[in-house]
Structure formats: C-alpha cells, structure tokens
Structure 1
Amino acid sequence: MTQTQPLQRIGVWTQLVGQEPAVETLSAAAAAAARIADGETVAGGAMTHAWLLTGPPGSGRSVAARTFAAALQCSTGIGCGACPGCRTALAGTHADVRLVVPEGLSISVAEMRSLVQSAARRPTTGQWQVVIIEDADRLTEGASNALLKAVEEPPARTVFLLCAPSDHPDDVSVTIRSRCRLVTLRTPPAEAIAQVLMDRDGIEPQLAQWSASVCGGHVGRARRLATDEGVRQRRATVLRIPRGLRRPADVFTCADELISTAEADASTESKTRDEDERSELRTAMGGDGVGKGVAGAKRSAEAAVKQLEKRQKSRATRTQRDSLDLALIDLAGFYRDVLIAASRSGAALTHPDHASEIASAAAEWTPDSTLRRLEAVLECRQAIDLNVKPRIAVEAMITTLRQG
C-alpha cells in the first residue's frame, strides 16, 4: 500500500472521486508545504507557487483546487478535514483562501488587478495565501497580463491555483502555463461515482448506478440526475430529438424545446441563489431598516442591488449557455453511440439507457450521415462559443440533424 492511498480515503482527499494520481501529487505538495511553513528547506520541488489543474468537464477541477487549498491550510499538513483550517477552506470562509468564479463570460482586468493586489499580503490566519481561479480560460488578455506579473514574481507565501478545461488548454496563455505546475485530472469511472453518491449523498444503489452510467463522468451532474426529477426529464427531452425529427416543422419545435430546456435548467439553478444574494445585500447595507435616518441607506442599498442584478444577469447568460452546452454534449453522445453501434466495436455507450433507440438509428442511418449530424452538433457548440445567437445556431444544427 502506498503512502497516498490512506490520504485518499480520509480527510479532505475524499472529496476527489477517482483521481488517485492527482491525490498523490497534491498530497505530497501539501506535506512539503507544511515543512516549508515550519522553516524547513525542502528539496525535490514537490511544492511550487503556481498550479494549473486541467481535466474534462465534471472531473472536479475546482473541487481539487479547494481540496488542495484546505490541505495547505491544514494544521496537520495532511488535509485532515477536521481542523478549522480544513473546514473553513472547504466551506469557502477561510480568510486566506480567495476564490474567483467568473459570473459573466470573462474575468476582467479590473477584477484580476484587485485580486493580485490583495494576494500580495501575508496570510492572516493560515500558513499560505491561496488564490483559486475557476475557469482561468475566461481571463481576458488584460487580466492574463495582470496575473502573469504576479505569477512571475510571487510573494513568498502565496499560491495560485488555476482551473481550466483540458479540451481548451490553449485558452490559458502560454506564458502563464509555462510558469505553472500541471496536474491533469481524468474522467472518474462510473463505479467510483456511484459509490460516492451512495456513501456521501445517501442515494439508493440502483439510481446511483444509473446516474453514474449516464452522466458522462461528470460527478456534479450525476448528483443532480440522482436527486432532481426535473433534470432527468430535461435530459429525456433532449435525447428524444434525434429520433423525433420527422417533419420540417419539427425543426422549430425541437429547437424551442432545446432552448427552453436550457433556460429552465439555468433558471432552476439561479433563482434561489439570486434572491438570497439580493436579500443579504439589502440587509448588510441597511436597506430593510425602518424609522428616521434610513432614507440614505435605502438609496445606497437599492443602487447596490441594481449593480448586483446586472452581474446576476450576466451570470444567468453564462449559466444558460452552460446548460445548453450540456444538452449539446448529450446530443453529441447520442450520435457517437450510433457510430459505435454501427461499427459493433463493443465500446461502452454514453447513453446505455437509450440502447434500443441507438440500435434503431444505427440500422436506419448511414455512418456518413451520422457523422454529419455529429459534426453539426460540434459546430453548433463552437458557434455559440463565438457568440452566435443560440437560437440561430440551434435551428441551423437541427436542420442538419433532420436532413442527415
């Protein structure tokens, strides 16, 4: 048994599902960081000041970053999961762990300059000042340049953790990538996902195994599929499209369904969070106060709420596009499964619960027409990423899906 195996099963490392190589690298770095914090000289380069965590969607890049941050703040140096440093870092309340989550389509230079300035301070309660940047591929050019200066000349006790999808690693500038240590996450196996759903979320075995088998290796989506009937229904709606394009009018009907599904998914995710943020902001600024002398506070609170709502609108656009992209990934998976069924390769299906529809399509369509349909889905994803209006891109895609 290796030294890292017990670390994976206890403490903060249980957050990472099916990522044994990453756990080995990060736990060794956390142990080295603890010795450095105690004044020791550590050879071998296990710990460094900048990390780039990449992996496919759902592999847990941000979870890995938060877990590593917790281990760096751990009083034992191993990520015990029980000390105040571990608990507050995982909960997002540690004073020395700063999390940047883009709420819009990009991370601005102003936001990054402010972050870099605050990251230059010494830790206040922990051993390290940790900066986590989710979706670092969304950094604008100016924001990348601002971050580069900090990464090139980092403060002694500051660690930068950048997260970016592995299918677009070039979106992170090469100058930043060259100064980071790379940790690549893999798609977790279905068995590991099902086990964590049962152990951590109390999902009954049959539903956990089904969710794990159809989530495409995305742990968060597996949990949503297992716990939300609405998510399951929206997935079923998307997967009816390939075999439901019988008439020309079906193109527009299915396009409406696909857009509506993404909007409903995004609305469900955003509604409660938006209301809570507005309420907390009004309370913090005294906007809900009564009596004399509160008029100024109410005006300031309302102005702040308007700014918040502007950011929330930008975040809602991003969330809707992410939801639509997830639906398109499901569609692409269907056509990929049809190609597998036609080739009789025996590879695992992305949508095993739709095996009969997949087999029927494989018998009816030629491999060339299936490939054209798959390419149409991928082109639609690319068009939306280039800011083509989603409805136009989706209608063009579904026209090709019907024609083959």
Structure 2
Amino acid sequence: MSVFDDLVGQKPVIEILKNAVAGDMTHAWLFTGPPGSGRSNAALAFAAALQCEQGGCGTCHSCHSVAIGAHPDVNVTRTEKLIIKVDEVRELVRFSALSPAGQRWQIMVVEDADRLNEQGVNALLKAIEEPSERTVWLLCAPTVEDVLPTIRSRSRLVVLATPSPADVAAFLVRTDGVDPQVADYCARASQGHIGRARALARDAETRDRRRELIRLPVKMTDLRECLTAAASVNDLAKQEADAMTVEHDAREREELDAAYGVVERGRRPREYGPALKALERDQKMRAKRRHLDVVDRGLMDLVSVYRDALTLQLGSNSPVVNEEIRPDVEQLARKTTPEENLRRIDAVFEAREQMLEFNVAPVLALESLMMALKV
C-alpha cells in the first residue's frame, strides 16, 4: 500500500514525487492538470510521503493524519470563494515561518493557487523566494498560465494528465465497489474527471441530469428551443449546486448558533449578528462559485456531444463518449457540417470565458450561447 495508490493514471508524476521524497527535493512545487486529474490529491499524497518515515507507506500515523486533515505540520488552504484574499495569504506566510512541530517538514498546500489575486501573489512571493529551511509550498492550479509568472518561475512544475476511461473505471471498481458496467459509463461520461465519475457513480439523479443535458443539441432548432435549453442548463446546474450546498450551509448555521449559545440560551448576543452576516456572505459567494462550476461542467458535457458528432463525420476511430445517445449524435452529424460543429465548440469555450473571467451572468451567457448552437 502507498499514499500514491489513488493517483489514477499518473505513473510519471508518481516517479517524480518518489524521487523527491528520496532526496531530489525543492522548496516550492506547482501541480497543474485538467479538472478532475487529481492535482490536489497528488499534492496531499506528496505531503503525506514527505512526513512519513517510510516515504509514503499509507498506513502509519503520519500518512493517516495527512489523509484526514489532522497533521499539525500540513496546512491545507482550499476556498469555495472566487478569490483567496490577501489577508488569508498573509496568515499563511506567517504560519509558514514557524518551525514544524515534528522532525520533518512544515508543508503549505494551496489547492486553488489560480484564485490568488495580484495582492495575494505579492504577499506570497517573498515566502517562496526565501523559505524557511524546513518549509515546503505545494501550489495547485489548472494550468501553468493560471499562475502569475513570478510564482511559476520559482516553483518546480508537476503536470498531471487526464486519466484514461479504463483507468478511471478500474479505480471506481477497486475503491468504491461500483458495478463494472456502471463504472465504464461513468468513466466515459466524466471524460477523465475522477470526482465527476464518482458523483455519477454514486447518485442516480446526477446521471439523470446529465442525460437530460446531453439531449439538448438536437432539440435546438429555433429561438424558443434555444431559450428553453438555456433555462434548462441553468436550472439543472442550480439543482445540482443546491444539492451540494444546502446541507453544508445548514450545518454551518447550526454550528454558529451553538458557538454563540443561541440554541441553549434562546437569545442572540451582540456579536452574533456580524458573525451571521459574514457567514451568509461567505455562503452566498460559495453558492455562486458552485453554480458556475456546475454550469461549466455542463458545458463540457455539451462539448462532448459535438466532439462525438465530429468523430462520426470525420470517420475517426476515437470512441464515442455519449454512446447511450448514439441516434441523437448520428442525427446531429447528418444535419450539420464539421466546420459548424467546430464553431459550436468555440462558442462554448467563449461562453465559459465570459462567465468565469468576465463575470457575465450565467443565464445571459447561456442564452447567447444556445443561439450560437442552433441547428
């Protein structure tokens, strides 16, 4: 057993990390890879291996502590917000300067380094340039371009690949006991996104929402259908995002009430109001990000349909992602040209950029997109 066992389809990366644990070490690392490739998991596995006396056995107290987020010398920063604030970064820098409680490393993992703004990067820069002797920074981002040059030039790059459907399916069967046929479908539908594959495998409603979404391309034949499709994508995304946030939000509210004695005493102390307001603001920001993330994932599901149509039109030997709707894909391939489908894929990526980079309201971006996708 090893802490690296759950890194699906990443043999070259595992070799690099094992060599680093054995002595080929540097103080700052940048893990990049497409969504779902497991870059955060790779960083955490590396952190566990660095703290383990046996280089990542996966069974000792150190490995277990890192896995459950309880190791005193592994600080993990993840955010549900759109940016990581500079005050948060300054606190990380302060903490990174402390000596580790144990005999090995003080490890700082930043899972969303692409969400650092310029102020945050400037606050982090000196700590990476002149780290403490036993401090290691592990930064994660989708691509190297998502991190400012001042950071990436001072970090060792580790690039993760998209796992193959076969690797993802085998992982689902081995770790989650998923039926092999369901695992094959989920691996194919997720397009190598491990977290998405697991969500599809565990939840029938998630699978149903995806099936509804990928049937939209052949339906968009007039203005009414396009606007209906835009509303459908937005609504399906909201349903899935709400399913992820409602329980979490309610638990946070209960914890806040308990912390301020609202439940026991039946009254609200003066400090409770500002704390509740701050919690509601953070929850609203988190809900916005999750909605955008789910919309973005839905758009990539749409891209998979146009890719399948191109596969049939060009006579490629590549497998069809959406085999379960092959008749729809064949109809789309007959009614369109490869050039038109390439333009549709470009339109999807443009809509993603409008929402994620320029803060365009999802419903507006989707309405404009669906008109561009009209058959």
Query: Offset at 1:126?
Result: 5.6
Q: Does 1:18 align with 2:9?
A: yes
Query: Offset at 1:340?
Result: 1.5
In structure 1, how many angstroms separate the alpha carbons of the residues matched to 2:184 and 2:310?
24
Distance 1:271 1:80, change over 3 A: same
Structure 2 runs not aligned, ≥5 long = none
TM-score by length of 1: 0.89
Counterpart code for 2:181: Q
Does structure 2 retain, via aligned residues, the 8 Å contact 1:214–1:352?
Answer: no
Q: Report the 3-state secondary structure (helix = DSSP H, G, I; strand = E; otherwise coil) of the residue aligned with 1:392.
A: helix
Counterpart code for 2:6: Q
Q: Which residue of 1 aligns with 2:371?
A: 399
Does structure 1 retain, via aligned residues, the 8 Å contact 2:141–2:147?
Answer: yes
Counterpart code for 1:66: L
In structure 2, how many angstroms separate the alpha carbons of the residues matched to 1:350 and 1:182?
31
Does structure 1 retain, via aligned residues, the 8 Å contact 2:216–2:229?
Answer: yes
> How does 1:200-239 map onto structure 2 within 5 Å?
200-239=175-214
Q: Report the 3-state secondary structure (helix = DSSP H, G, I; strand = E; otherwise coil) of the residue aligned with 2:222.
A: coil
Q: Which residue of 2 aligns with 1:43?
A: none
Query: Offset at 1:192?
Result: 1.5
Query: Offset at 1:338?
Result: 1.0
Does structure 2 retain, via aligned residues, the 8 Å contact 1:213–1:352?
Answer: no
Matched positions, count: 374
Q: Does 1:277 align with 2:252?
A: yes
Q: Which residue of 1 aligns with 2:361?
A: 389
Query: Alpha carbon RMSD of aligned pairs, Å?
Result: 1.6
Q: Which residue of 1 aligns with 2:227?
A: 252
In structure 2, how many angstroms separate the alpha carbons of the residues matched to 1:380 and 1:322?
13
> How does 1:310-389 map onto structure 2 within 5 Å?
310-385=281-356, 386-389=358-361
Q: Which residue of 1 aligns with 2:278?
A: 307
Query: Offset at 1:11?
Result: 2.2
Distance 1:147 1:341, change over 3 A: same
Q: Which residue of 2 aligns with 1:110?
A: 87
Q: Does 1:64 align with 2:42?
A: yes
Distance 1:127 1:286, change over 3 A: farther
Q: Which residue of 2 aligns with 1:41?
A: none
In structure 1, how many angstroms separate the alpha carbons of the residues matched to 2:128 and 2:253?
35
Counterpart code for 2:39: R
In structure 2, how many angstroms separate the alpha carbons of the residues matched to 1:132 and 1:165?
15
Distance 1:60 1:397, change over 3 A: same
In structure 2, how many angstroms separate the alpha carbons of the residues matched to 1:116 and 1:316?
28
Does structure 2 retain, via aligned residues, the 8 Å contact 1:334–1:351?
Answer: yes
In structure 2, how many angstroms separate the alpha carbons of the residues matched to 1:341 and 1:50?
45
Counterpart code for 1:338: A
Q: Which residue of 2 aligns with 1:27?
A: 18
Q: What do residues 168-210 of structure 1 show as CA deviations (whole Å, max 9, x unaligned)? A: x222011110111111101111111111111111111111111
Q: Which residue of 2 aligns with 1:289?
A: 264
Query: Offset at 1:305?
Result: 3.0
Query: Offset at 1:330?
Result: 0.7
Query: Offset at 1:157?
Result: 1.0
Query: Offset at 1:70?
Result: 1.1
Q: Which residue of 2 aligns with 1:156?
A: 133
In structure 2, how many angstroms separate the alpha carbons of the residues matched to 1:283 and 1:57?
36
RCO higher in 1 or 2 (8 Å CA, sep ≥ 6)?
A: 2
Does structure 2 retain, via aligned residues, the 8 Å contact 1:85–1:126?
Answer: no
1:187 to 141, 159, 162: 162
Counterpart code for 1:244: K
In structure 1, how many angstroms separate the alpha carbons of the residues matched to 2:15 and 2:293?
31
TM-score by length of 2: 0.96
In structure 2, how many angstroms separate the alpha carbons of the residues matched to 1:100 and 1:214?
30
1:123 to 100, 115, 118: 100
Structure 1 runs not aligned, ≥5 long = 1-9, 33-45
